[in-house]
Structure 1
Amino acid sequence: MQNEYLEVVEDKRLSRAEIEALSRHGKPCRLLRCDLAELDLSGLTLTGWGFDSCTLKQAELMGTKLQASVWASCRGGFAEFVGSDLREAEITGCDFNNGNFRGANLTAAKVLRCKLTGANLAEVKSLNTSFEETLFADARLPNFSFRKVVLKKLDFQMADLRNGDFRQAVFEECSLRDANLAGCRFDGADLRGADLGGVRLFDAKQFKGATISRAQAGQLLAELGLNVQ
């Protein structure tokens, strides 16, 4: 995505007032290596803005309009994105561990090589959202839909995936190890590229209609203490 930026601000600790003033010009700005830690940016309109190598630890962006924004190599542990508008955003190489995205709009957003360990993505709007090479360990994604999506290098280890829709999804180098899969649907899914370690056999009915490998079948049976010859 190539946004036309009004101004590039580099290596600066910014205040809400300064960002608000920049936003009034109507064109997006690019922030490079800026410090936004613990800053309250809730409710601002930052459509199309660029955030490159910025620090956003514990920043508050609740209800912030960030449609078509571009994020690269940012660090924002425990940042609050509750109810924010991230439609068509591009988020690459960012660390938003334990971030709160509850109720955010991620429609048509692209998330690549990110760390979302422990993040809360409950009630997120995710139509046509693309995730690739992303760490979701211990994250919360209840009722999330990955239907008909090709999942590449996603790590859901110990994640809360309750009631998720994985129908006709294809897993490539993914992990579902020890994830909470209660109520998930995998009809028509190709799970041969997923680590199913820790999946109990009483969950196996959820995989009805899915494709698994012989090794994975043996792994599921081993959960019952059976020796597969």
Structure 2
Amino acid sequence: MIEKADYLIIESAKLDRSEVEGLINIRIKPLWLSNVDLSGADLSRLDLCDTYFERCNLTETDFTATKLEATTWKGCKGAKVKFKSAMLNEGKFENSDLNNSDWQNCRLGIVSFTSCKLTGSNFSGAASLGVTFKDTLLVGTFLLGFSFLKCELDNLDFSDADLRDVDFRNTVFKGGSLSNARVNGARFDNADLREASLHGLKLMDAKQFKGAIISKNQAAMLLSSLGLTVA
């Protein structure tokens, strides 16, 4: 259980790089940043492991190659925030709006995303072993080569996303959508897609779903793209 007494608490402030570095240098316990404005700050390559970010403004904040392991992010807003090459293992993201964010080549081992908005974000090259998503918008995201191997995906919206070469083998979709997603080279062996929306996909895309489990209604929808009706 998280206790605020275990943190150095900073509230309702706007911080730049030098001020954050000062806090890092004097801290004897992890930082808890509550309602802190970090917008536009260059925080690249700092050590912010174990930090708790609560309702922070992260708009265009640069966390490139920053150490962010075991961090918590709750209720944050951060359009175009950069996590490129950051170390985020064991991090937790909850109820945060991080649209158009950059996660290229970052480390996401055992990271969880719950009720987040990641529309238009770029996860290309991210190491994703054990990552989990729940009730999260991934509309128009770039997930080239991402791995969801053996994951249970709970109500994820991949509409219009770039899912080329993504590994969905043995994945179970609990609701959610793959509508109009690009799936060239994606692996769906033994994936259960019966509860996912496949609207916008055509039968010519069906070869990409080789080995997947779909419903009769989904099969009929794919056939209808050729003008065929299942009687």
TM-score, normalization by structure 1: 0.97
User: 1:195 is matched with which residue: 197, 200, 218?
Assistant: 197
Provide the residue aligned with 2:165 in structure 1. Answer: 163
Provide the residue aligned with 2:21 in structure 1. Answer: 20
Q: 1:121 and 1:101 mapped to 2: Cα distance?
A: 5
User: One-letter code of the match for 2:120?
Assistant: G
User: 2:47 is matched with which residue: 39, 45, 48?
Assistant: 45
Mapping 1:1-229, distance limit 5 Å: 2=2, 5-24=6-25, 25-229=27-231
Runs of 4 or more above 6 Å deviation: none
Q: 2:78 and 2:87 mapped to 1: Cα distance?
A: 17
CA shift at 1:26, angstroms? 4.9
What is the root-mean-square deviation in Å for CA atoms of aligned residues? Answer: 1.2
User: One-letter code of the match for 1:7?
Assistant: L
Percent identity (aligned): 42
Q: 2:227 and 2:40 mapped to 1: Cα distance?
A: 50
Describe the superposition over 1:39-68 as per-residue Cα deviations: whole angstroms up to 9, x where unpaired: 110111000000000001011110110000
CA shift at 1:161, angstroms? 0.3
Runs of 5+ unmatched residues, structure 2: none
Q: 1:207 and 1:91 mapped to 2: Cα distance?
A: 30
My pick for the range that moved more, 145-154 or 26-35, is 26-35
Q: 1:6 and 1:97 mapped to 2: Cα distance?
A: 28
SS of residue in 1 equivalent to 2:156: strand
Describe the superposition over 1:103-125 as per-residue Cα deviations: whole angstroms up to 9, x where unpaired: 11010111111000000000001
User: One-letter code of the match for 1:12?
Assistant: A
Runs of 5+ unmatched residues, structure 1: none
Q: 2:41 and 2:16 mapped to 1: Cα distance?
A: 7
My pick for the range that moved more, 164-173 or 198-207, is 198-207
User: One-letter code of the match for 1:63?
Assistant: A
Q: 1:156 and 1:127 mapped to 2: Cα distance?
A: 19
Q: 1:57 and 1:199 mapped to 2: Cα distance?
A: 34
Q: 2:165 and 2:61 mapped to 1: Cα distance?
A: 30
CA shift at 1:86, angstroms? 0.5
